[in-house]
Amino acid sequence: MPHVTYFGAVSLDGRLAGPGDDLAFLDLFEGTFPDGPYHMEIVIAGFDSLVMGATTFRVIRERIAAGLHPTWPYGDRPAWVATHAPELPRVPDAPDLRPFAGDVRQLVAQIDPGLTRTWLVGGGDLAGQFLAADLVDKIILGIAPALLGRGPALAEGTFPLRAFHLADLQRSGSAVALCYERAR
């Protein structure tokens, strides 16, 4: 089974986006973590595969179409998309999109044995299912210095209390990076 890291950015009130999937708050990270272990590119380079929910996939496609992302931001890593849609729309520069529907334990079991470091991109609905199945090994969060009031939460759903221990924390400007590891 791959090691699964939930890596994402949240507001101070634990939201992944504002109303209407608005990701404008991500601009608050501009200029933070210019290097070191929480530099975005460095964290991303540590993953060989990724999983995301259908809503997150849609928002990324919309951002590409709007020119907010120049291209698919995850390179050629295999990307599993949890969706009830029968097929996924093609995305330029995303050569390996794999739709999945069902129990997330089966999703993780599908990940090729050679892939060992999976990025759980989110969103909160999919993350809640991973937490329910105790499949989250690590959480890396960038915390933005603002509250959003409404919007999707970091984790949604019903799951037992899952304790993580704080492995590291760093600040850069007014942003904070937290790294938690599952205490099993």
Ligand X SMILES: NC(=O)c1ccc[n+]([C@@H]2O[C@H](COP(=O)([O-])OP(=O)(O)OC[C@H]3O[C@@H](n4cnc5c(N)ncnc54)[C@H](OP(=O)(O)O)[C@@H]3O)[C@@H](O)[C@H]2O)c1
What residues line the site for ligand X (CB under 6 A)?
8-9, 16-17, 21, 23, 53-56, 59, 82-85, 101-102, 104, 121-126, 129, 152, 156
Cis check for the bond before 123: say yes or no (omega within 30 of 0).
yes
Nearest distance from C-beta of residue 157 to ligand X, angstroms: 9
Task: Answer for the pair 11, 148: CB distance below 8 angstroms, yes or no.
Answer: yes
- Choose between 22 and 96: whose C-beta lies nearer to ligand X: 22
Nearest distance from C-beta of residue 153 to ligand X, angstroms: 7
Nearest distance from C-beta of residue 2 to ligand X, angstroms: 17
* Residue nearest ligand X, CB atom distance: 123
* Greatest distance between any 2 Cα atoms in the chain: 44
- Choose between 28 and 121: whose C-beta lies nearer to ligand X: 121
For the chain, the first-to-last Cα distance in angstroms comes to 16
Task: Answer for the pair 27, 148: CB distance below 8 angstroms, yes or no.
Answer: no
- Choose between 8 and 78: whose C-beta lies nearer to ligand X: 8
- Choose between 126 and 177: whose C-beta lies nearer to ligand X: 126
157: left (phi over 0), alpha (psi -120 to 50) or beta: left
Nearest distance from C-beta of residue 177 to ligand X, angstroms: 12
Nearest distance from C-beta of residue 42 to ligand X, angstroms: 16
- Choose between 2 and 43: whose C-beta lies nearer to ligand X: 43
